[in-house]
């Protein structure tokens, strides 16, 4: 149990700090909704987007709904994690990433009443031109989803336990 909690904190806290540090820099240095600043011309830009919705700006204007949803999800995740529900390493890493992401965006919603998004990629493909702006917390949530999917696939490949005769 102690090692599981150590893993959670070792992953979640530095990523939460990185998320907040990068957002602090963006808020201090880029005026919203100023034109994106090219980092790699025609591909990667820094911007300052204030998102009151969720992924892809779904539910825009419902900041307090997302505050409540985030808080409930965070409490539930931590309760299940501390009860040992997530047994494999990949799932535990996924939970740590998810906690970092939820905390990062929840902190923004409480401080600013919106999430600060600032990473903008132009993938030069239809419907992703540019891809919606995102942040470090969003990246953590995305990678956590991948961890859960991989853990699920690995679990489904294990042979089913045989019934005792």
**Which residue out of 19, 88, 108, 117 is catalytically annotated?**
117
For 65-117, the pLDDT digits (tens) are 999 999 999 999 999 999 999 999 999 999 999 999 999 999 999 999 999 99
**Which residue out of 19, 88, 122, 138 is catalytically annotated?**
138
pTM: 0.88
Q: Which residue has the tokens 């204007």?
A: 61
In the chain, how many domains are there? 1
Catalytic residue list contains 88 = no
148 C-beta neighbours (distance < 10 Å), count: 18
pLDDT of residue 160: 63
Distances (CA, A) of 47 to 113, 139, 150: 18, 16, 32
User: Residue range 44-52: average pLDDT?
Assistant: 94
pLDDT of residue 162: 67
pLDDT of residue 150: 96
* Cβ atoms of residues 46 and 36 within 8 Å: yes
Share of the chain above pLDDT 90, in %: 75
**Domain containing 56: what range?**
2-157
Return the closest-CA partner of residue 22 out of 155, 158, 133.
Answer: 133
Q: Is residue 119 included in any domain, yes or no?
A: yes
pLDDT of residue 139: 98
Residue 1, pLDDT > 70, answer no
Q: Is residue 164 included in any domain, yes or no?
A: no
User: Residue range 143-155: average pLDDT?
Assistant: 94
For the purposes of burial, counting CB atoms within 10 Å of the CB of 66, is it exposed (0-12), middle (13-18) or buried (19 or more)?
A: buried
Residue 25, pLDDT > 80, answer yes
Largest Cα–Cα distance in the chain? 70
């Amino acid at each position: 149990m102690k090692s599981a909690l150590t893993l959670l904190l070792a992953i979640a806290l530095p990523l939460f700090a990185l998320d907040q540090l990068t957002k602090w820099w963006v808020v201090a240095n880029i005026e919203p909704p100023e034109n994106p600043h090219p980092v790699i011309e025609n591909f990667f830009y820094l911007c300052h987007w204030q998102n009151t919705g969720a992924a892809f700006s779904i539910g825009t204007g419902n900041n307090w709904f997302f505050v409540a949803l985030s808080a409930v999800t965070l409490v539930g995740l931590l309760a299940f994690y501390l009860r040992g529900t997530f047994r494999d390493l990949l799932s535990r890493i996924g939970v740590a990433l998810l906690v970092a992401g939820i905390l990062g965006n929840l902190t923004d919603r409480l401080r600013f009443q919106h999430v600060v998004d600032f990473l903008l990629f132009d993938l030069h493909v239809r419907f992703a031109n540019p891809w919606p702006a995102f942040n470090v917390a969003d990246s953590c949530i995305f990678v956590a989803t991948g961890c859960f999917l991989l853990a699920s696939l690995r679990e489904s490949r294990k042979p089913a336990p045989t019934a005792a005769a």
